[in-house]
A = this chain, B = another copy of it.
Amino acid sequence: MMEKRNPLPVQEAVAKIMEQPMEGRTEWTALEDAGGCVLAQDIQADHDVPPFDRSPYDGFAIRARDTTEASREHPVPLHVIDDIGAGTVFGGTVDKGQAVRIMTGAPIPGGCDAVVMLELAHEYEEEDHQYVEVKRPFQKHDNISFQGEDTEQGTTVIQRGTLIHPGVTAVLASFGYGQVPTVQRPRIGVIATGSELLPITAPLEPGKIRNSNAYMIMAQIEQAGGEAVSFGTVADDFEKTFSTVKEALRSVDILLTTGGVSVGDYDHIPDILKELGATVHFNKVGMRPGSVTTAATLGSQLIYGLSGNPSACYVGFELFVRPVIRKILGFAAPHLKKRKAVLGTDFPKPNPFMRFVRAELKEENGGWKAYPAGLDKSSSVTSLSDASALIALPGGTRGYEKGMEVDVLLLHSMEGSEWPWDNIVRSYRS
């Protein structure tokens, strides 16, 4: 009846999942909708930046050699022959003793080779002509932004795999990308299983709990960058669960089930995976909470059985599902960001499994201190709202003391880690 389960160390379980070939698809997205997406291709400059020699200031375009003799006592007057705004072009050529009033960003008129800032210039009118006085000598190329000095045409300006934040949007817009090659968000299906589940707005009944996990996982999927697709709730019934799983697998890249997957007999996921002919990579992990996490592949699709306990489900997602979504999206650092922190409390009880303690990180005296968030029980849901990190406590025969340095994994950071496990495991073995 009950299948024997051998726990796999966390890092080996993560490695097994990350070995599976999963690749993102490219789609074109309107620039205004591309924020938060990931670039699927390198972006090249379609023109020099600046595209022409231009003025970095409002002022007067001049010929530097006209100002060689200029001084405060003997300012050189120049005849202002035109006044061009941004977006307009001076068509002619500026001759000896002449200048052109020019706006920031305007092209340098023919014949000119320097710009006098407006604030440093004295303008005056004489017999219906405009003049400007220059009070010091200028060098050729003073105050000119040269064509291509920022970026030359054809240069790769942004790498594929880059998250499209506002600075990236600016660069894409300036290079004419009205449509952007982005990595399509992988479709992640969610099935909540369990006869004990109530709709979240239903009043509580004895023996029942509200189906908070489905909402939580959908939010985790979106935060990781996936597209969450709900396939509803099914009672603990093999046939119904099986047909829902089959239906979901018709349209998703990854399927998550939550609930069940304990060692109890009402859990049909193991039988369903067998019936589907899926390859089970692990069905138990040496960690708390979340030891009863299952992962399997069926062709190119990944299927997870996450625990029904909210915190165990949460941690299982962050460790095993999030990095796969981030890998598909093309992130070089798909795992949760790791940081060192100092324990704010004792964990006297040793545990053979690696523990992940939901924690609040506080900046104290320039360093980070980690305190458990709420009650650290796998059944506790309120600690999830306060937690900004998971303290990773490697398993072993000793507990941990307040003041010890430990590794924490950040839950809400836009940064990530390439592979956070090596050092954590090393301290485990020491």
- A interface with B by C-beta (< 8 Å): 31-32, 35, 45, 47, 49-52, 54, 56, 58, 84-89, 103-107, 118-119, 145, 149-151, 157-158, 162, 164-174, 176-178, 194-197, 200-202, 204, 206-220, 222-223, 236, 262-264, 266, 308-310, 314, 340, 358, 366, 374-375, 377-382, 384-387, 411-414
Contacts and interface: CB of A to CB of B under 8 A. Distances in A.
Contacts of A236: 85-87
A171 B382 contact: yes
A222 B169 CA distance: 12
Contacts of A177: 200
Contact of A166 (B119, B211, B223): B223
Q: Which of A45, A168, A202 lies at the interface centre, i.e. has the most chain B CB atoms within 10 A of its CB?
A: A168
A103 B310 contact: no
A105 B305 CA distance: 18
A378 B145 CA distance: 11
B50 A195 contact: no
A107 B208 CA distance: 9
A258 B309 CA distance: 50
B85 A195 contact: yes
Nearest to A210: B174
Contact of A207 (B107, B119, B176): B107
B170 A385 contact: yes
A173 B263 contact: no
21 contacts: A32-B215, A45-B382, A52-B207, A56-B377, A86-B236, A88-B195, A104-B264, A104-B309, A150-B377, A157-B385, A158-B385, A165-B411, A166-B223, A167-B386, A169-B218, A170-B212, A170-B381, A171-B384, A172-B215, A173-B200, A174-B310
Contact of A412 (B107, B377, B414): B414
Closest 5 CB pairs of A and B: A87-B196, A167-B384, A173-B212, A170-B216, A166-B219
Contacts of A216: 166-167, 169-170, 173
A350 to B, nearest CB: 18
A103 B266 contact: yes
Contacts of A215: 31-32, 169-170, 172-173
A112 to B, nearest CB: 14
Q: Which of A52, A170, A308, A377 lies at the interface centre, i.e. has the most chain B CB atoms within 10 A of its CB?
A: A170
A204 B385 contact: no
Contact of A218 (B32, B178, B202, B207): B32
Contacts of A413: 413-414
Contacts of A32: 215, 218
Contacts of A377: 56, 145, 150
A317 B84 CA distance: 28
B204 A171 contact: no
Contacts of A50: 379
A236 B386 CA distance: 50
A374 to B, nearest CB: 7
Contacts of A54: 379
Given A85-B196, A88-B195, 10 more contacts: A58-B263, A88-B207, A105-B308, A150-B382, A151-B382, A170-B219, A170-B310, A173-B216, A176-B202, A413-B413
A118 B263 contact: yes
Contacts of A88: 195-196, 207
A416 B204 CA distance: 38
A47 B262 CA distance: 26
A37 to B, nearest CB: 11
A178 B215 CA distance: 10
Contacts of A374: 150
B387 A86 contact: no
B414 A118 contact: no
